[in-house]
Amino acid sequence: MTYAVRPTILYRLMKLNAKTRSTFILLVVVTMIIGTFAWEIVERLVGLITGTEIHLAVGPIGFDLRVLSVHIMVNPGTVIGVFPGIRIFRTA
């Protein structure tokens, strides 16, 4: 763990290693899910306001193991959600 000095605040910068890998993955997945839902809400609000439907989702993307099947629809909010996850991890 390293420290970075910014004006009047001391931040510690978390580094990615074997010990912090699970935290990093959890943060990125959670922020991706939040970004996906936020984008979906924005699409629906724009659709209500303009009266047209907008769908920028791609997918479904996932895997199927016959017993377990996980698929998600990827939209721009999913990709945008990765950046706050990385930022939160670095400053945690």
Taking only the tens of pLDDT, the chain with its 92 residues reads: 555 555 545 556 777 788 888 888 899 889 999 998 999 899 999 989 998 888 888 878 888 888 888 887 788 888 899 888 888 888 86
The SS3 assignment for 58 reads strand
The SS3 assignment for 69 reads strand
Q: What is the pTM of this model?
A: 0.71
Q: Are 43 and 54 in contact (CB under 8 A)?
A: yes
The H or E element spanning position 26 is helix 21-50
Angle between helices 21-50 and 82-91 (to 10 degrees): 140
Closest CA to 55 of 77, 29, 70, 82: 77
